[in-house]
């Protein structure tokens, strides 16, 4: 074992020439991190601290990481092999005996760029839900897309205005994407050009659920608290859930249902929720000159609690 970086006290274990291992503790979890080569020791140390920080972003939902023992693999990509300009080129979650988050990165980018990137927060947010059937994938992609924005704001990596602009622009992309398809149909396998519908219809429904929970409980309940209860009872899960089973389970934690009514209204309906009206009630105004947040609207207090 070689100890590098006494200030951070991160121990890097070069178990073989192709991987550096490091365990990191965050609330609720031991992160088993693997840094694939070639990445030098100094950069590896920076990346490990960044992974820990991104895990702590997700802990801003309900105070602990959703999986107590996840495996996180950072894989450097060859320069020129990707077209994306992001430091994290691609991320994915695989679920077998353990849940693994793989992050494919451009190791040439400065570490500051990684902290400003949403991909790790999005992938870690996936762990707040169980694996869903293909047709109900809009729920997992949508909830992760919602949380990547609100958690990056809560952690201070986005200004709240920026988070709401990104959500608003996403809802608009979702509204324009495959307007004839319902979320369930858009998420079914083999549907082309439906990606924005899949991601942003689910994010819209996450925001609608969060607003209703916070509003009716005076802030005592939220999407955060309900997902915390889901984690306590049921995660990590080895099963592949249906959207109905998930939403019925979420409703079982609260006095009267919020999730199944949204499912019945939107999951098989082509129309996109009216998010412009919702954003206006939240006090979010988008103009070509930028975003303004207004504290005088009916849901302004809910917005401040979310971001
Ligand atoms: Zn995703």
What's the whole-number mean pLDDT along residues 31-51? 96
Q: 229 C-alpha vs ligand 1 centroid, how far in Å?
A: 22
Which residues, 6+ apart, have CB-to-CB distance to 187 below 8 Å? 134, 135, 136, 137, 138, 141, 194, 198
Is 97 a residue whose pLDDT tops 70?
yes
Is 6 a residue whose pLDDT tops 80?
no
Q: 56 C-alpha vs ligand 1 centroid, how far in Å?
A: 18
CA distances from 135 to 86, 132, 207, 242, 244 (A): 29, 8, 20, 8, 11
Q: 152 C-alpha vs ligand 1 centroid, how far in Å?
A: 15
Q: 137 C-alpha vs ligand 1 centroid, how far in Å?
A: 9
Q: How confident is the model at residue 80 (pLDDT cuts 50, 70, 90)?
A: low
Least confident of 49-58, 146-155, 190-199: 190-199
Q: 300 C-alpha vs ligand 1 centroid, how far in Å?
A: 28
Q: How confident is the model at residue 18 (pLDDT cuts 50, 70, 90)?
A: confident
164: Cα separation from own chain's centroid: 15
Q: 250 C-alpha vs ligand 1 centroid, how far in Å?
A: 20
Is 252 a residue whose pLDDT tops 60?
yes
239: Cα separation from own chain's centroid: 20
Q: How confident is the model at residue 251 (pLDDT cuts 50, 70, 90)?
A: very high
Is 5 a residue whose pLDDT tops 70?
no
Q: 301 C-alpha vs ligand 1 centroid, how far in Å?
A: 29
Q: 243 C-alpha vs ligand 1 centroid, how far in Å?
A: 16
Q: What is the DSSP letter of 273?
A: P
Helix H segments across 69-133? Answer: 111-115, 119-126
Is 67 a residue whose pLDDT tops 80?
yes
Q: 126 C-alpha vs ligand 1 centroid, how far in Å?
A: 7
What's the whole-number mean pLDDT along residues 279-297? 95
pLDDT for position 288: 86
What's the whole-number mean pLDDT along residues 89-104? 95
Q: 170 C-alpha vs ligand 1 centroid, how far in Å?
A: 14
160: Cα separation from own chain's centroid: 16
Q: 122 C-alpha vs ligand 1 centroid, how far in Å?
A: 6
The mean predicted confidence, pLDDT, of the chain is 93
> What is the token pair recorded at 93?
């979650």
Q: Are strands 71-76 and 19-26 parallel, antiparallel or unpaired?
A: unpaired
Q: 92 C-alpha vs ligand 1 centroid, how far in Å?
A: 7
CA separation for the pair 191, 254 (Å, rounded): 35
Is 10 a residue whose pLDDT tops 60?
no
Q: Which residues surround ligand 1, an ion (CB under 5 A)?
A: 141, 144
* Model confidence, pTM: 0.93
pLDDT for position 238: 94
Q: What is the DSSP letter of 99?
A: E
Q: 187 C-alpha vs ligand 1 centroid, how far in Å?
A: 13
Instruction: Please give the biggest Cα pair distance in the chain.
Output: 59
Is 13 a residue whose pLDDT tops 90?
no
Least confident of 117-126, 192-201, 220-229: 192-201
Question: What does the pLDDT look like over 139-171, one tens digit per residue?
Answer: 999 999 999 999 999 999 999 999 999 999 999
């Amino acid at each position: 074992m070689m100890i590098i970086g006494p200030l951070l006290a991160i121990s890097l274990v070069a178990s073989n020439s192709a991987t550096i291992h490091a365990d990191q503790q965050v609330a609720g979890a031991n992160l088993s991190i693997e840094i694939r080569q070639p990445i030098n020791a100094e950069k590896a140390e920076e990346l490990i601290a960044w992974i820990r920080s991104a895990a702590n972003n997700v802990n801003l939902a309900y105070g602990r990481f959703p999986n107590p023992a996840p495996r996180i693999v950072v894989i450097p990509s060859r320069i020129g092999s990707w077209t994306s300009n992001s430091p994290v080129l691609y991320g994915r979650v695989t679920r077998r005996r353990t849940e693994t988050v793989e992050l494919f990165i451009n190791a040439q980018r400065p570490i500051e760029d990684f902290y400003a990137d949403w991909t790790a927060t999005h992938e870690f947010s996936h762990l707040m839900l169980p694996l869903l059937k293909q047709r109900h994938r809009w729920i997992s992609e949508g909830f992760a897309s919602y949380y990547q924005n609100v958690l990056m704001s809560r952690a201070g990596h986005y200004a709240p205005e920026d988070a709401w602009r990104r959500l608003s622009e996403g809802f608009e992309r979702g509204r324009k994407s495959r307007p004839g398809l319902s979320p369930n149909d858009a998420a079914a396998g083999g549907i082309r050009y439906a990606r924005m519908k899949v991601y942003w219809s689910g994010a819209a429904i996450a925001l609608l659920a969060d607003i209703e929970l916070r509003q009716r409980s005076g802030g005592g309940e939220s999407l955060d608290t309900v997902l915390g209860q889901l984690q306590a009872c049921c995660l990590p899960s080895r099963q592949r859930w249906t959207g109905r089973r998930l939403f019925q389970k979420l409703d079982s934690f609260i006095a009267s249902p919020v999730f199944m009514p949204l499912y019945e209204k939107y999951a098989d309906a082509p129309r996109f929720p009216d998010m412009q009206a919702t954003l206006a009630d939240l006090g979010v105004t988008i103009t070509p000159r930028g975003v303004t947040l207004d504290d005088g609207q009916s849901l302004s207090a809910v917005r401040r609690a979310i971001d």
